[in-house]
Every structure is written in C-alpha cells, then in structure tokens.
Amino acid sequence: MAYFASKDRYLNMKYNRCGNSGLLLPAISLGLWHNFGGLGDYQKMKDILLKAFDMGISHFDLANNYGPPPGSAEINMKNILQSELGAHRDELIISTKAGYLMWEGPYGEWGSRKYVLASLDQSLKRMGLDYVDIFYSHRPDPDTPLEETMGALHSAVQQGKALYVGISNYDADQTEQAIDILQNLGTPCLIHQPKYNMFERWVEEELLSVLEKRGVGCIPFSPLAQGLLTDRYLNGIPADSRIASESIFLQEDHLKADILVKIKALNQHAEQRGQTLAQMALAWILSRKQVTSVVIGASSVNQLEINAGTIHNLKFSRDELAYIDNILLS
Ligand SMILES: NC(=O)c1ccc[n+]([C@@H]2O[C@H](COP(=O)([O-])OP(=O)(O)OC[C@H]3O[C@@H](n4cnc5c(N)ncnc54)[C@H](OP(=O)(O)O)[C@@H]3O)[C@@H](O)[C@H]2O)c1
C-alpha cells in the first residue's frame, strides 16, 4: 500500500534546540542499532520507521557498523528511503558514525583521516544519500591525533557530505579539546552522543557542564539501559527480548537481583506518576536542561508509541528526584 505521511505528524512532538545551533531535534529520536539489520524483519522495521515519522520523530540515528551484518541497517534505511521516506528527505535528520571495525586491515576502524572519510563514502553509498545531516566520530582514538580525526569531520562538511558533525563516547577532557579544534577549523561541534541513563550517570560529573558551557547539544544513547528500565523484565526474561536474543550487548548477568529490586521500585513510582517505567526513565533524562533529545531503540510499534508519549509528562518535583536517587543509589 502506498505510504502517505500523517498530516498531524508535527502536532504531538516536542522539538529542542541543539546547543547554540540553528538545528531543532525531536525530544525522542530513533536509533537503528538493534532490530534494523539484515537479519531482522523488514516489514516490522519499516512499520516502526514510518510510524516514527508519523509521530514527528524526524531524527534517525545510524552508524556504519549497525546490523548485523555491519552496514545492513544503512542498506535497510536506503530501501525505506527509496520506497517511502525519501520524498520527505528535507524533513529528516539522518546521522551516521565512523569509529568501530568495518573492514580488514589498518584502515578499517578508529580515527585516521583515511578510515573516517572512506567510511563516510561507504555509508552514503549504502544509504543512497548525497549527504548525512550529522556525521560522528563514534569513539576517541588513543593513537591518532585528535586534530586528524576532527580535521576529517571538518573535511566531510567542506565536501558537502555532512551538514553537521558530532562526537560520541568522548570523555569531558577529550570533548573540550575536540570542541576547540573544530571551532578553530570553522566547523562547530553540534552534538555529543554519550551513554546516559538512570543506571549509568558518568556524564553528570563533568560532561554535561562542558556541553552547556560550550553550547553543544547532547543526545544520550541507550536511555532505557537497553530495555532494563522498562517493564520488559519485571516477570522474567521474555523470549523475544534483547537479553534472550543473540545480542552480546545485553545478557542475563546484567539483570542481577539488586538491579531487579531497583527496577521494581522505579516501576512503582512511574505508576504513581501515571507513566510507564520507560516513559519515566526517558523523562528523567529529558528533564535535564543540557539534553536535546534521547535516542531510543524499539523492537515494536507499540514500544515506539509508548516512548513517544513521554513528552506529555516531563516534570519532576525535587522530592521525586530525591526519591528516585534514593532508589538508584541504595
Ligand atoms: N554512540 C554509540 O556508541 C551508541 C551505542 C549504542 C546505541 N547507540 C544509539 O542509541 C540507540 C538506542 O540504543 P538502545 O537500543 O540500547 O536504546 P534503549 O532505548 O536503551 O533500549 C531499546 C530496547 O529497549 C526495549 N524497549 C524500548 N522501549 C520499550 C518499551 N516502551 N517497553 C518495553 N521495552 C522497551 C526494546 O528491547 P527488546 O528488544 O527487548 O524489546 C528496545 O530494543 C541505538 O539504536 C543507536 O542509535 C549509540
């Protein structure tokens, strides 16, 4: 059946300015790390992506290595762009990244100019795009001068292959240095993509204040701790969950007894707020002023709809935040 985008698609999403830039991002963005690769169910991923667009989720986050197999999420994105979403290209923010292993030999990963620019060319080809909206350095490279990696991001913009650039998984010091280098080159750092959720709060130490001070946006990844911060595992491990899947990134030993106690206590508090735990976990991140958007994953349209509904209740009282901290730090 032909796809016609919902006419109401911008009525129920909140858009936040990304740092000091001109770019607005939806509070909820969708990532294609899991569930969108070549081994996944193509119709299901298409349903999720089209529903996302219909709900005002204008930002899709990819990386060269998303799959499995690596690269296949970008290929699926190309197919969905070509069949449905491509007509809306100017309404979409599509990001990709380079940093992790993509091909054999010394130029297949990390942060050399050779790898970063070749990887972007490959990503553009896989997605059938002339440019991406945001191009990231996916991880800092301890053995390559930061000037070289940032210079490659700058070149991508100069060559018209990326509109904006960002960094991911850089600590606070590396971030300040990267921002300075990019600023001197004349390509501002738009955004940082760190891991941040109720269970992993390292960004609160320094990174968030660096980003605020320097006017750089922040889009936390794995905001639901890969599904732990939802009702998914309240009563065991469902057969269709990430823990039960072949993914090596979330395994049964992540669901320790003390974590489950916290999940249950958080779930109770979410109920009192009239939200699901997933919604409360996302709102908790979005309530921080430095955060532009959260990049979620979803394995069903239903999960996506629940998560998009987060924006209707983003407020926490001081007492509530203290209560949540108490659960998390106990
Ligand atoms: N920059 C980086 O290094 C990096 C690293 C990792 C991820 N990312 C980005 O961040 C995105 C999100 O990562 P993530 O998938 O780990 O995020 P997440 O939002 O923390 O976890 C998503 C998973 O949680 C479960 N879930 C989501 N909504 C739910 C709901 N309402 N109720 C119950 N379960 C729900 C689903 O798992 P089930 O499959 O069990 O249903 C879903 O696949 C990625 O796609 C990628 O774009 C970036």
CA distance 54 to 60: 13
Task: Give 222 Cα–ligand 1 centroid separation in angstroms.
Answer: 5
Residues whose CB falls within 8 Å of the CB of residue 263, separated by 6 or more in sequence, listed in order: 228, 229, 233, 234, 277
Q: Which residue shows structure tokens 């595992």? A: 233
Task: Give 297 Cα–ligand 1 centroid separation in angstroms.
Answer: 3
Per-residue pLDDT of the chain (330 residues; tens, 9 = 90+): 789 999 999 999 999 999 999 999 999 999 999 999 999 999 999 999 999 999 999 999 999 999 999 999 999 999 999 999 999 999 999 999 999 999 999 999 999 999 999 999 999 999 999 999 999 999 999 999 999 999 999 999 999 999 999 999 999 999 999 999 999 999 999 999 999 999 999 999 999 999 999 999 999 999 999 999 999 999 999 999 999 998 889 999 889 999 999 999 999 999 999 999 999 999 999 999 999 999 999 999 999 999 999 999 999 999 999 999 999 998
Task: Give 221 Cα–ligand 1 centroid separation in angstroms.
Answer: 8
Alpha helices in the chain (DSSP H): 42-54, 72-83, 113-127, 146-158, 172-185, 207-214, 257-273, 277-286, 301-308, 318-329
- pLDDT of 246: 86
* Residue from 33, 97, 229, 282 to probe ligand 1 pocket by mutation (most atoms less than 8 Å from CB): 33
Read off the tokens for 291. Answer: 């955060």
Determine the atom of ligand 1 nearest the C-alpha atom of 249. Answer: 16
288 burial level (CB within 10 Å; 0-12, 13-18, 19+) = middle
Task: Give 296 Cα–ligand 1 centroid separation in angstroms.
Answer: 5
* Domains of the chain as residue ranges with CATH: 15-329 (3.20.20.100)
CA distance 224 to 329: 17
- pLDDT of 68: 95
